[in-house]
Amino acid sequence: MGARLLDFVAFSSLWLAGAAAALCVASSLALGLRPRAAVLAVTVLGTLVVYNTDRLRDVERDRETAPERSAFVVRHAGALRLLAGLSAAGAAGLALHLGLRASALLGAVLGVGLLHRRLKRLVFVKALYLTAAWLAVVVGLPALEGVRPLHAAWVAGLLGAALFANALASNVRDGEAGAARFGPARVLRVARLVAAAGGALGFAAPAAVAPLAAVPLATLAALLPFRADERYGLLVVDGALLAGALLAIAGSLALGPGLA
């Protein structure tokens, strides 16, 4: 029963949606902002839309790199379409509620997500645009809520290191992009170095941002014993984003409000 539940949260993209929400909260706290429910909700719903749409559209090609997930998508295609459709309706309504700037940002991210099938074939682009899209949501969207959000560049740097390392590891698992061109061992080495650099950056960051170092460090911990297995990638490597974000939230709350 436990294994089936883990498969469900991983293959339905709920795991990733939870990670996105946790990163959004951690980012908001580091920016000196109070996390807003509407921002968190649109982050979760948008993640479900983009990833489930991609899984449904690319299920045949994904059979080679993620056969278990592809089988889940085929078995539950109707439910996933319904989940994606309802999430899209909810995300659209929330985007309008958040205002024009948030709607434009989310629209741009959605556009990138819908082009993912084509863009991910480009060797040097996939990890970069995935990192940029995630940063736009988990850092850019909360930042729009503040008049002068604190330390935005630091927040983007620490989280960007974790997200970039995660994207590189995804390439290794799927044998795509740079991993196909330069070899999985070399790309995985780069991913570990990027995650380690992100963790080290936390020691130089302002005190309010330092807890975010937990995200690249958790990613590094997941990459050190890395296995090119779809469950390891979906549950452990992606789960490191969730675990690191939760640790960062705990660290920020322990520091107390108003710390700049």
Burial class of 14 by CB neighbour count within 10 A (0 to 12, 13 to 18, 19+)? middle
For residue 96, how many other CB atoms are within 10 A of its CB? 11
Q: What is the mean pLDDT of residues 187-200?
A: 96
Q: What is the mean pLDDT of residues 113-137?
A: 79
Q: Per-residue pLDDT tens for 144-185? A: 986 677 899 999 999 999 999 999 998 887 666 555 566 788
- Gap between the Cα atoms of 97 and 28, Å rounded: 19
Mean pLDDT of the chain: 89
Q: Is the pLDDT of residue 137 over 90?
A: yes
pTM metric for this prediction: 0.92
pLDDT for the residue 122: 61
- 18: amino acid identity, one letter: G
Which is nearest to 228 in space by CA: 170, 173, 166? 173
Task: Measure CA 132 to chain center.
Answer: 10
Report domain extents, the chain: 2-255
* Banded pLDDT at 1 (limits 50, 70, 90): very low
Of 150 and 242, the one with more pLDDT = 242
Q: Is the pLDDT of residue 47 over 50?
A: yes
